[in-house]
Amino acid sequence: GDSVTQMEGPVTLSEEAFLTINCTYTATGYPSLFWYVQYPGEGLQLLLKATKADDKGSNKGFEATYRKETTSFHLEKGSVQVSDSAVYFCALSGRDFGNEKLTFGTGTRLTIIP
Amino acid sequence: DSGVTQTPKHLITATGQRVTLRCSPRSGDLSVYWYQQSLDQGLQFLIQYYNGEERAKGNILERFSAQQFPDLHSELNLSSLELGDSALYFCASSVGPGLDGVHNEQFFGPGTRLTVL
């Protein structure tokens, strides 16, 4: 079945550091890929998405590129801020009819220190 | 605010009891999804409804059931509760299936935190 493997956390960085959170997936066909973010005490928010190979999703300075050859969707940000502290989830959904569920990775807790 | 509402926010109950979690989707959304977030299992898909009909099932226990009503709100019923059912339960909604296999974005509610003592 579908699965997502995500970089183990927690990750602690200083403000303005470069961020990479690794994500690889296993799925049949060509899934859609997502990064969700969960701030303390809140639900999940979609951060960015990509729906086909070589697509780049971007939002709020975060980027991720859909790499079919390496089955990866790594999250990057050039300069992190304290407000980026949260838990980040990589996820996929299949393309089959009736297969819209999201399959999530384990989540990576990110803490940014001033 | 995603537009998805969930009640109650917190629920504390005892083993063996039954509880009902409620979800109201965003206006216009026809699909409702339920997910469970626990420390040992992570975020797992439970079940999906589309316009009142069950559409997909995930790792949902037989003690759990759900339904979507004509006004599109959904309820997740958890019975014979065990300690291991303690978790955060999320509801999400979307407009429904997308085109060409690209599914529409799911919007998540704030969750219901269930504690079973």
What pLDDT score was predicted for residue A98?
65
What pLDDT score was predicted for residue B44?
95
- Please give the DSSP secondary-structure letter assigned to residue A55: -
Does the structure show a pLDDT above 70 at B99? no
What pLDDT score was predicted for residue B105?
85
For the residues of B49-75, what is the DSSP string, one character each?
EETTEEEEE-S--TTEEEEE-TTS-EE
CB contact under 8 A, A43 and B45: no
Beta strand pairing call for A108-113 and A11-14: parallel
- Please name every residue paired with A26 in a beta bridge, in sequence order, or none if there are none: A3
Does the structure show a pLDDT above 90 at A30? no
pLDDT per residue as tens digits for the range B1-29: 889 999 999 999 999 999 999 999 999 99
Chain A residues closer than 8 Å to B30 by CB = none
What pLDDT score was predicted for residue B39?
86
- What is the residue-averaged pLDDT of chain B? 93
pLDDT per residue as tens digits for the range A33-74: 999 999 988 889 999 999 889 999 999 999 999 999 999 999
What pLDDT score was predicted for residue B1?
82
Closest C-alpha to B22, from B83, B71, B95, B94: B71
* Distances A26 to A72, A73, A103 between C-alpha atoms, Å: 9, 11, 10
Does the structure show a pLDDT above 80 at B101? no
Question: Could you tell me the two tokens for A87?
Answer: 């838990």
CB contact under 8 A, A100 and B94: yes
pLDDT band at residue B86 using 50, 70 and 90 as cut-offs = very high
Q: Which amino acid is at B36?
A: Q
The Cα of A35 is separated from the nearest Cα of chain B by a number of Å equal to 12
Mean pLDDT of A13-37: 94
Which residue's entry shows tokens 């079945």?
A1
